[in-house]
Amino acid sequence: MNSLKSKLDALPNFPGIYLFLNNAGKIIYVGKAKNLRKRVRSYFQKGRAFDNRLELLRREIADIDFVTAPSESEALVYEAALIKDNAPRFNIELKDDKSYPYLKLSVNERFPRLTVTRRKTADGALYYGPYTDVGALKEALFFMKKVFPLRTCAHVKKKVCLEYHIGQCAAPCENKISEKEYAKTVEDLKAFLEGRIKDLALSLKKEMAESSAARRYERSIEAKRRLEAVLSLQASRDQGKTPIYGELSELMSVLGLVVFPRAIECFDISNISGEKAVGSMVRFVEGRPDKKNYRHFRIRTFEGIDDYAMIKEVVERRYSRLVREGAALPDLVLIDGGKGHQSAAKEVLEKLGLGGLQVASIAKEFNHVYISDKKAPIRFSPGARVLLLIQRIRDEAHRFAVTYHRRLRDKI
């Protein structure tokens, strides 16, 4: 037990995967934790109520190993790969009757899709999981859709959709990617899901060099973007960074923020030719969506097309209300748009006496980020994890705005 105690004392306060081994050194259980130290130590707390199966597990634990991850969502991917490779006895025996979700990669289709399903069937597709944490699975899925943009539609349509415009689909429906290149993306995703990060990195480096030599520069840039995202993920895992002290700390440093951006609120505008214009606001806390505090706005003050005026209206309505109610303000306001949108939001906040509130904007073209004290935009490497974080928040605001806008149009 002394050996186990020293292992327990050495556990870090990071997300990751923990492995319980028996006397023969065989893995008998694999688990995922938001905080490795708290989760694993809880198995050995005196007075904790255990059912018979968990008591049997505890009696067989002779050693503990762990792997840190940059976030709980990435840990989910590693957990599934380890369970698939090792088939630990207690992972099978401790399952209850819940229907946990799987990731399904439909390699039996011409243009495979990555979807979530609760049914595993013999249909020729590849299945990964099951996953016990649906929220973490959704976060991991967002990362994969950004880095490996496969189609999500049930049938290949003849025109691009919203997923293409927010960079989550390569649009094979309009031949914006060749079948061969699409197949390579599928192979890269398979390597990622199976935990073969080193193999994937070598493959992407080779693809970059060959595409560049053949003057296929767009494909070379795409491979570079994918490589940077994967290497960044691997580096974060090796350093044991969490979402809070990883991407958010980097965001604070890159943008020169004076307050740690624990709470971020992001605004977007949606309209078609000025009709039924609406605004949306999504709130993220510690890198995760806080959906109960999402808000949408119908534009009231004017009709027509003026994105700057619309941004001013929704920002003023949001923060004048928070000031009246004495409610907590966010640490960072993010605007979907360019320098003009950022300036419009900043102008309103200064009028409200909130000039100290930090404001940034992200332009769709090139994903440049603007802040108040810099004329030139901040440019990120395409696969940088801090950019993926900003994009994720921006894309969620866009999705929320478009969904509300469609609902209003359908009522006409």
* Whether 370 and 282 share a structural domain: yes
**Which has the higher per-residue pLDDT, 21 or 408?**
21
* Whether 300 and 276 share a structural domain: yes
b vs e for 154-186, b when ≥16 Cβ sit within 10 Å of the residue's Cβ? Answer: eeeeeeeeebbebbbbbbbbeeebeeebbebbb
The answer to whether position 186 is within a domain reads: no
Residue 112 has pLDDT above 60, yes or no: yes
Residue 87 has pLDDT above 70, yes or no: yes
* Whether 336 and 388 share a structural domain: yes
**Which has the higher per-residue pLDDT, 60 or 161?**
60
- Token pair listed for 218: 């767009």
* Whether 73 and 16 share a structural domain: yes
* Tens digits of residue pLDDT in 18-57: 999 988 888 999 988 888 999 999 888 765 545 556 777 8
* Tens digits of residue pLDDT in 333-384: 999 999 999 999 999 999 999 988 899 999 877 778 999 877 788 887 766 7
CA distances in angstroms from 55 to 33, 38, 42, 44, listed in the order given: 20, 19, 13, 10
* Whether 231 and 341 share a structural domain: no
Residue 114 has pLDDT above 80, yes or no: yes
The answer to whether position 211 is within a domain reads: yes
User: Whole-number mean pLDDT of the chain?
Assistant: 82
For residue 49, the enclosing domain spans 2-93
Instruction: Say which CATH number the domain at 10 has.
Output: 3.40.1440.10
* Tens digits of residue pLDDT in 136-147: 677 778 778 878
* Whether 273 and 393 share a structural domain: yes
Average pLDDT, integer, range 254-258: 82
* Whether 6 and 61 share a structural domain: yes
Dihedral sign of CA atoms 186, 119, 76, 92 in order? negative
Q: What is the pLDDT of residue 222?
A: 81
* Whether 12 and 124 share a structural domain: no
Average pLDDT, integer, range 304-309: 80
The answer to whether position 14 is within a domain reads: yes
* Whether 112 and 150 share a structural domain: yes
Q: Give the total number of structural domains in the chain.
A: 4
